[in-house]
């Protein structure tokens, strides 16, 4: 008895703590999302004989371990985390400053363009040291372009009062067209392999991301996975962003603007400066994501259709950020989770579903994450109700000392009638 009340007490305390609450809400949205996904697959399996909903859920849960070589799958999973970690960070810091940065795809593209222009135009084949220098330069150029692109949104908002969402959407498509135009007549097309719509790979000019031996570690036979230094850089940036938001005066200032614009103004904080700065940082982060993704030795950029489709990596930052409640450290986990599900998508055809089911489930989970607060409210209420019911029960037992309390309730109900 005593033990139990101690447990509920502890549980209650844990639930009231904010960070525990958001973690709990994220976990609930994930579980509910999986259940709804399961129902979807059940319906689909009725329509399409030969598919199995249970098998589908099994595959989703086991993710990369469905592959013939899980190590290889995990290597790729980690590599694909890199771009969404960066766009997730980009969206998270903007959100904390009270801005919704839907411009991450455009900033991502600017980072891609800047870095590829540098990395593909300079040939350092054979000199790995020079190659690394050019690689660093490529990231920096990409980052600066993204920074500029982001700060444009900030300036439009701060100086002309244009809503950042509208500005971002416009700039996304402008970026997409610019990048197509820049690479359209460039000599960097991958003609050697007969793929005119693509650019050559960074491995061809020697300015590719170091793999730190990770690719070999996570390989399948002779084939290395894509994993490279990017993930290390990404995690470092998560930590740096966390420090920036929580430990620096500038982070404090930006959050103040996001939480209450009016009182920030009252305190003499320059909101316009903060909007522009924040969007510049945001743009830089998304751009580094674009750069690191495309500087990988094995990734090729399809310039041909770039003007028609915005890179999914940009928008996928939104769920990554919100599933982590915009906490930079949480983003490491949320990006991993989302890639885990996406990876499993590739294996869904084994049980008769197409891979897009994974995307559907991710989408559901993201929607649910949006209801985080609602869920937290439910949890609170649930616990309170339980407590109260217990108290009432106890009292009833106390008042009418006849032990079988079922009878008491029945009697009371009859009395009411």
Position 409 contacts other proteins (CB under 8 A): no
- Give strand pairing partners of 115: none
Min dist CB 93 to other proteins, Å, is 16
Position 222 contacts other proteins (CB under 8 A): no
Min dist CB 273 to other proteins, Å, is 11
Q: Which is nearer to other proteins, 13 or 184 (CB)?
A: 13
Give the angle 263-267-273 at the CA atoms, nearest 5°. Answer: 90
Binding segment (CB under 8 A) for other proteins, from list 45-53, 189-197, 200-208, 250-258: 250-258
Query: Which DSSP string corresponds to 324-383?
Result: TTT-TTHHHHHHHHHHHHHHHHTTGGGGT--THHHHHHHHHHHHHHHTHHHHHHHHHHHH
Exactly one of 6, 48, 378, 381 binds other proteins (CB under 8 A); that residue is: 381
Q: What CA–CA distance (Å, rounded) separates 115 from 310?
A: 18
Exactly one of 46, 250, 329, 410 binds other proteins (CB under 8 A); that residue is: 250
How many C-beta neighbours within 10 Å does residue 16 have? 11
Min dist CB 250 to other proteins, Å, is 7
| Pairing between β-strand 189-190 and β-strand 195-199 as defined by DSSP bridges | antiparallel
The residue count of the chain comes to: 417
Long-range contacts of 210-219 (CB under 8 A, 24+ apart): 210/132, 210/135, 211/297, 214/75, 215/75, 217/71, 217/75, 218/71, 218/72, 218/74, 218/75, 218/76, 218/78, 219/71, 219/72, 219/75
Min dist CB 191 to other proteins, Å, is 49
How many C-beta neighbours within 10 Å does residue 378 have? 13
Binding mask 254-283 for other proteins (x = CB under 8 A): -xx--xx-xxxxxxxxx-------------
Position 392 contacts other proteins (CB under 8 A): yes
Position 163 contacts other proteins (CB under 8 A): no
Min dist CB 412 to other proteins, Å, is 11
Min dist CB 123 to other proteins, Å, is 40
Q: Which is nearer to other proteins, 248 or 305 (CB)?
A: 248
Q: What CA–CA distance (Å, rounded) separates 194 from 147?
A: 34
Q: Which is nearer to other proteins, 20 or 263 (CB)?
A: 263
Position 4 contacts other proteins (CB under 8 A): no
Near other proteins in 12-51, by CB under 8 A:
16
Q: Which is nearer to other proteins, 61 or 259 (CB)?
A: 259
Residues near other proteins (CB under 8 A) are 16, 247-250, 252-253, 255-256, 259-260, 262-270, 381, 384-385, 387-388, 391-392
């Amino acid at each position: 008895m005593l033990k139990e009340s101690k447990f509920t007490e502890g549980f209650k305390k844990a639930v009231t703590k904010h960070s525990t609450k958001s973690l709990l809400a994220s976990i609930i949205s994930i579980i509910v999302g999986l259940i709804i996904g399961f129902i979807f697959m059940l319906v689909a399996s009725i329509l399409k004989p030969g598919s199995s909903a249970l098998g589908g859920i099994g595959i989703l849960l086991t993710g990369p371990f469905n592959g013939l070589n899980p190590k290889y799958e995990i290597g790729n999973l980690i590599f694909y985390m890199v771009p969404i970690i960066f766009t997730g960070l980009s969206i998270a810091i903007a959100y904390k400053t009270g801005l919704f940065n839907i411009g991450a795809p455009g900033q991502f593209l600017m980072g891609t363009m800047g870095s590829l222009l540098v990395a593909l135009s300079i040939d350092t084949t054979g000199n790995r040291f020079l190659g690394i220098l050019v690689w660093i330069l490529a990231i920096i150029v990409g980052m600066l372009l993204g920074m500029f692109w982001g700060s444009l949104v900030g300036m439009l908002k701060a100086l002309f009062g244009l809503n950042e969402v509208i500005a971002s959407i416009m700039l996304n498509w402008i970026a997409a067209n610019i990048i197509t135009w820049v690479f359209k007549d460039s000599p960097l097309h991958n003609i050697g392999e007969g793929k005119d719509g693509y650019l050559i790979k960074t491995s061809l000019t020697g300015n590719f991301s170091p793999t730190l031996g990770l690719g070999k570690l996570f390989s399948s036979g002779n084939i290395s996975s894509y994993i490279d230094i990017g993930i290390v850089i990404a995690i470092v940036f998560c930590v740096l962003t966390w420090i920036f938001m929580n430990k620096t005066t500038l982070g404090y200032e930006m959050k103040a603007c996001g939480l209450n614009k009016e009182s920030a103004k009252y305190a003499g904080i320059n909101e316009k400066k903060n909007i522009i700065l924040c969007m510049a940082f945001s743009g830089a982060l998304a751009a580094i994501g674009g750069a690191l993704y495309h500087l990988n030795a094995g990734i090729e950029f399809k310039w041909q259709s770039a003007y028609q489709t915005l890179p999914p990596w940009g928008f996928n930052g939104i769920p990554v950020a919100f599933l982590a409640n915009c906490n930079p450290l949480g983003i490491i986990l949320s990006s991993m989770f989302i890639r885990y599900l996406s990876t499993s998508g590739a294996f869904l055809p084994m049980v008769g579903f197409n891979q897009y089911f994974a995307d559907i489930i991710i989408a559901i989970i993201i929607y649910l994450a949006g209801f985080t607060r609602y869920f937290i409210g439910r949890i609170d209420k649930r616990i309170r109700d339980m407590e109260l019911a217990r108290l009432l029960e106890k009292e009833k037992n106390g008042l009418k000392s006849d032990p079988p309390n079922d009878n008491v309730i029945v009697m009371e109900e009859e009395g009411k009638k």
